C-alpha cells in the first residue's frame, strides 16, 4: 500500500531527479563546446536518493578519451552549484557508447559548428576488413564531392576530410 506521505516523497524525488538531470545536462564537451553531454549520449542516468545524494552515470565516448575527466568534474561542479551537496559520478562501460545515441539536435549543432555528424547507424559499418566508405557531405556547402584525408583526425572520434567543391577541410564525427 502506498501512503499519502510516501506518494508525496516519491513525487518530490521525481521532481528533483528531473531537475538534477537538467542541471547535469548543461555540461558540455570541452573539445566540442557546442555539444552537451546529453546531446552526445554520454549522460546515461541521474538519480536523487531519499537523503538528497545524487548519483550520475556517464559512459565514455572512447576508452582513452582525455575529455572524460573534465566532463565528470564539470558534472560534480554544476550539481554542487545547484545546491546538491553529495554528488557521485560513475563511469560505466556497458552498454558501450555508440554515435547512434547522439541526439538529432546534437547532430544539427555539430553541423552548424563545421563538423559533419555521423552518417548512418553503427550496425551498418559492415564486417570485413576491406570495405567501402560512404560519401560524407561537406557541412559547409553540402557537396558530396569530398575526400577523406585521414581516418584519425584531431581526436580519435573524428576523421579529417576535404571538400572538393568549396576546397575547405572539415572534421567528420565517425560512426561507432
Partner 1 sequence: MSGADLDPHGEVSVDRLALAEELAGAGAGEGAVASEDAAEYALRLGDDALVLAQQLGMWITRAPELEEDIALGNIGLDLIGHARSLLHYAGSATGRSEDELAYWRDEPEWRNAWLFEQPNGDFACTIARQLVASLYLFELYSALADSTDPTLAAIAAKSVKEVDYHRDHSTQWVLRLAGGTEESRRRMIRGVEVTWPYVDELFADDELTERLAADGVAVLPSTLRPAFESAVDEVFAEAALERPTGRTAYTASGGGRRGSHTEHLGPLLAEMQVLARQHPGASW
Find the shortest distance in angstroms from Cβ 176 to partner 1. 5
In the sheet that 169-173 helps form, which strands lie side by side, from edge to edge? 115-116, 169-173, 158-163, 146-150
Cα dist from 5 to 16, 90, 107, whole Å: 17, 31, 43
The C-alpha cell at 107 is: 547532430
134-173 binders of Zn ion (CB under 5 A): 138, 140-141, 143, 163, 165-166
Smallest CA-to-CA distance from 42 within 19, 67, 20 is with: 67
Find the shortest distance in angstroms from Cβ 6 to partner 1. 22
Residue 52 DSSP code: S
Find the shortest distance in angstroms from Cβ 1 to partner 1. 25
Residue 103 near residue 41, CB atoms below 8 Å? yes
Q: Does 123 bind partner 1 (CB under 8 A)?
A: no
Minimum CB distance to partner 1 smaller for 150 or for 165: 150
Minimum CB distance to partner 1 smaller for 17 or for 155: 155
Binding site for partner 1 (CB under 8 A): 57, 60, 62-66, 69-70, 72-74, 76-77, 88-98, 122, 125, 128-131, 149-156, 160, 174, 176
Amino acid at each position: 500500500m502506498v501512503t499519502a506521505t510516501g506518494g508525496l516523497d516519491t513525487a518530490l524525488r521525481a521532481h528533483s531527479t528531473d531537475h538534477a538531470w537538467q542541471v547535469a545536462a548543461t555540461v558540455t564537451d570541452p573539445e566540442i563546446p557546442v555539444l552537451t553531454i546529453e546531446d552526445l549520449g554520454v549522460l546515461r542516468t541521474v538519480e536523487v536518493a531519499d537523503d538528497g545524494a545524487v548519483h550520475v552515470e556517464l559512459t565514455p565516448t572512447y576508452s582513452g578519451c582525455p575529455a572524460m575527466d573534465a566532463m565528470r568534474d564539470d558534472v560534480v561542479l554544476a550539481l554542487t552549484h545547484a545546491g546538491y551537496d553529495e554528488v557521485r559520478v560513475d563511469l560505466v562501460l556497458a552498454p558501450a557508447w555508440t554515435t547512434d545515441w547522439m541526439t538529432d539536435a546534437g547532430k544539427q549543432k555539430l553541423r552548424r559548428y563545421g563538423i559533419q555528424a555521423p552518417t548512418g547507424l553503427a550496425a551498418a559499418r559492415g564486417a570485413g576488413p576491406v570495405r567501402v566508405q560512404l560519401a560524407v557531405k561537406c557541412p559547409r556547402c553540402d557537396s558530396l564531392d569530398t575526400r577523406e584525408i585521414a581516418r584519425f583526425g584531431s581526436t580519435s572520434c573524428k576523421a579529417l576530410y576535404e571538400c572538393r567543391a568549396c576546397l575547405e577541410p572539415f572534421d567528420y564525427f565517425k560512426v561507432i
